[in-house]
Structures are given as C-alpha cells and as structure tokens.
Amino acid sequence: MSVTDWLDERIGVRELSRRVARRDVPGGPRLQYVFGAVLVYLFLQEVVLGILLSLYYSPSATDAWASTAYIQDQVSGGWFIRGLHLHTSSAMIVLLVLHLLRVVWGGAYRKPRELIWWSGILMGLIVLGFSMSGYLLPWDQNAYWGTQVRTGILGSMPGGESLQVLAQGGTGLGNLTITRFYVTHAFLLPLATLVLLAIHVLAIRKHGVTPPAGIDAETLARRKAPYWPYQRFLDIVAMAITGGVLVGLTVYTHGAELYAPADPTASFVARPEWNFLFLFQLVKLFEGPLQIIATGIIPGTVLALMLALPFLDRAPDRSPRRRIPALVFVATVMAGVVALTAMAIVEDAGNERFEEARAQQLREGEKAREFAKLGVPSASSTSVWENDPDFKIRKLYQEHCSTCHKIEGKGGEEAPSFDDYRSRQWLFDLVRNPADKRFFGGTKDHNAMDPLPASDVSDEDLWATVEYLYSLRGDAEDVDAGKAEKGKKLWDDTLECSGCHEVEAGAEGAAPTLAGRGTVAWIARVIADSSEPDLFADTAEMPKFKDKLDEAQLTALAEFIATQSEPADRVD
C-alpha cells in the first residue's frame, strides 16, 4: 500500500484532490487571478522563516538586539533568512495592493461576495500589523525610536492613552513592550490570519472566482477551464518568479539593516518603514491639536468607506463604466498614499543633515555588530559598547566635559569647542573672534582677549602667525618652516600678543603659555589644573580634575581631545 493509498483510506485525499481539480475558472485562466495564490504562498513562507528566526531570537530588552545580531552575523545563513523575511513582508504589501485594485476593478466586492471583501480587507490590515509589530523586535535604535513615535501618535488620539499603555506594557517602552509585540507578531496575528483565510477560501469556494466584468455568460461558459492544471500552472509560475525576485533582492541588499542597540538616552533620527511613510507625512501636515485628523479621522473614514463599499456601490452591474464613483474613490486613496510616500522620500533625500545622520547611525550599527561578535554582556545590549576601547573614554568625557565643551557637534557652549581643536583653522578663527560661542563666548570673562580683525592684520600675515603658533606644539610634522619663520617675526616685531602669551615652556604670563599648546601633555595639564601660573592662572573658570581623575584617565581624556585635529588644513 502506497502512502497516498494509506492517506486516502483515512482522510480521502484523492476526493479532496478531485474537488480542487474539478473547480472551473469562468473565462479561463488569467494572470490577474494569481495574486491571491501568491499571497498565500508568501504567508506560508513568512511562517517558515519566522519559525527559523524564533529558534535563535530572545524577546527581552536585554537580549533582543544581541540575539538579532547573532542571527545576522554568526548563524549560518542567518542574514539571508532575516533579510528574506523582511523583503517578503514588503512583497506581501505590494501584492495586497495589486490584489485589491483587481478586486475593485472587477467589482468582486459586490453581493454575494461581501464576506470575501471584508475578510480580505481585514487580512490586509493584519499584514500591516505584522509589519508594525515585527519592526520593533530587533530592538535597535531604529526600532526603538520609530516605535516611540508610533505609540506616541496612538496615545495622542482620543482614548488612546489606555491603548498606548496596553501596547507598551506600561508608560514607556521596555521589556513588556517586546514580549507583547512578539506574542502579537508570532501568535495572535498568524492565528487571526488563518481564521480569516479560512473564511475567505470557503466563500470563494462557494461563489467561485469573480469573472472579468463586461463578458457575457455564454462567452464565460465557452471559455471556462478547470483550475487544475491551467490556472494552477500560472499560480506556480507567479510564485516562482516572486520567490526568485525576493531571493535576488535579499542577496543584493545582503539582508536587512541592523542599527546599534536601543538606547533611550541617545538621540536618533527615526523614520517608519516605507509602507507607513504616507501616514508619517500626513501627520506632518496636521500638527498639534489637528493631529487627530491625520491619525484618526482620515484613516478611519477611509477604512469605514472601504468596508461599506458593497453597500455604497448601487450600480446595476459590475461594469467599470457604471461604477465610476467607487473607482474614483479607491483611485484617490491610492494616489494619496503614493503621493505622500513620495513626498516623504524626496524630503529625506534632499535633507543633507538627515542623510548624514542616517549614514552615521548605520556606521555605529556596523561597529556595534563587530563588538557583538566578541560577546554581549548580560546586563543589556548597549553593554556591547564596553568592548570598544574608545567607549570608556567617551563615557568619561561625557560625565566630566560635555556639559561645557562641544565635541563632534554635541555638547555645551560654556567653554571652547574641541571640534578641530588642534587645527590651524581653529587657531585662525580664534584670533579673529575669540568671543565667538565656539571659543570663549560662553565664559564669564569672554572679553579678556581682544579680537584681531582683518583691518589690523591681513589674512596672509595671520596665517603665517598661525603657522608659527602651530609649530610651537613641537609634535607637528607638517609645519611650513618658511611661513612659520615669517610668523615668528610678526609675533616678535609687529603683533602685541607676546605681551600676554609666553612661548617658552613653564614661562608665566597674563595668558597661557603657547609652548606645547595642543599636545597631549599640555591638554592633560589644563584638565588637571587650568589655574597653574603658566596656564590660565587666576582667570581659570574650569574645575580642577587632578583630585577626581588619576593620571591614566587624564592622559586618556587628553588623547581623546587631541584626536579632534585636522592635519590637512594648511592654507598657502
């Protein structure tokens, strides 16, 4: 007895197969009928891929990012599985839209196919729910801040605060948020999809595939063909092409992006996934108290009208010419979604600061993933940065220096900026306008140093003087000796700077000695005690750190600040 015989004896598989094969397709097989079958195939593919991912994924705030990074970089083929899972989700949304447009064009929502229409709309919403709930699960910066924006929008709606707390598992994003999103993504939504899919298929079995409008019954009957093998062949071809495109796209993009671990204390320029960009753009058009129009009224009205379409369409038949209002309504909605999505993409593409920030965030993500390969401490995913030799010094700088000093564009303005601190350009700009916020403009005694405008010293002479000051560091290897010599003569014979500044190590003056200025040793001395007689003496406003930090910490901080130099900034 064969396996087929054994199964047929118990569950009647042959009769089931004959029922499928005997089903006729009115008007014959058509490519426009393949969308539903391809969507079922993609859903099943997502289930299989999701199961494979869940074998390694850990839904907790401490482990979610680390387990995702492990899948991405250390599990054999993990990057491919995760990337294919992401791209399949996007493909489902595209095919859902195409399927919906075909159904609307053919009037397949009309009596007696209302249940087919409603179950299809609800499954479309569930696919968006899959996308939204899965978006958070990597628990990276993009997922965290993007979800923060979406749950914030939910909370701004009338009665939305309770829903926001329910979704988050509290007043903020955390461990319960991940577990709730994971349960929704991996259990609740798949179960709801299966129930609706069963209703959808049963209703289609009852009423059959909706034939094209405008073809008379006699022609449809003459052209009809059995589902197997004709339409099934087209379905399989469409599935194969879709699968091939998704595999190619996954290989081309090398899977899905993964940013640095979620850090509530950091700043991040978040954007929703592409299929929610239209709503993101719509919200920007209705700010403040009008936001409810974008988050509730417009989407709610569109959904209600879509569900009510079988009752609102009073045309005598399914001919598109007789259903102009319904077609115009759906076309307007789709055009609006496409236009808003395009606006969001174009605006971001033209925003250099956004593009630079996003590129930097991606670099940080790649860096964090490299450190994750060394192991992630159990405390939290952000502990991965402890593998970075630069992390501790950055943390030390943030604790003791960032309140007053800016570095890498971030920090306070109460003291000089360390961006390009050792460069010639920094010195040039300082001499021209020492009271600028970039220099001493935020200090109490910001007028102590007089500016040297171009009317007093030409740019050429000032650059020569700067070259001389640059040479006083003693460790610069790219000094222009001729220009520095000219600058020294200007310093000694013309300029009045030497009245305050000494150029010999240890010499005391009314302002800091410039010998060794910008070296690690000089910077470390300033951090330790800027009130030393040969530094800022009694004009020092900076706290002393010699009793708070040890020598190794002082040196490490000085080395970190010293790296903010631009050696290739010489002006000839």
pLDDT surpasses 80 at 335: yes
Q: Which of 200, 196, 219 is nearest to 209 (CA)?
A: 200
CB burial of residue 155 (10 Å; 0-12, 13-18, 19+):
middle
Residues linked to residue 406 through DSSP beta bridges, in sequence order = 411
Contact predicate 158/136, CB 8 Å: no
Cα–Cα distance measured from residue 341 to residue 329, given in angstroms and rounded to the nearest whole number: 18
Please report the pLDDT score of residue 378 as a whole number.
57
Contact predicate 558/520, CB 8 Å: yes
Cα–Cα distance measured from residue 316 to residue 311, given in angstroms and rounded to the nearest whole number: 12
Q: What is the pLDDT of residues 466-505, one digit of tens each?
A: 899 889 888 888 899 999 899 888 888 888 787 788 888 8
Query: How many Cα atoms within 13 Å fall on the side-chain side of residue 561?
Result: 30
Contact predicate 60/179, CB 8 Å: yes
CA 352, 358, 364, 369 torsion-angle sign:
negative
pLDDT surpasses 60 at 571: no
Higher pLDDT, 160 or 555: 555
Strands (E), 211-271: 225-226
Q: What is the three-state SS of 39-77?
A: HHHHHHHHHHHHHHHHCCCCCCCCCHHHHHHHHHHCCCC
Q: What is the pLDDT of residues 86-108, one digit of tens each?
A: 999 999 999 999 999 999 998 99
Domain range list for the chain: 18-357, 389-562
Please report the pLDDT score of residue 568 as a whole number.
45
Under CATH, what is the fold of the domain 18-357? Cytochrome Bc1 Complex; Chain C (1.20.810)
Is the pTM higher than 0.75? The answer reads no
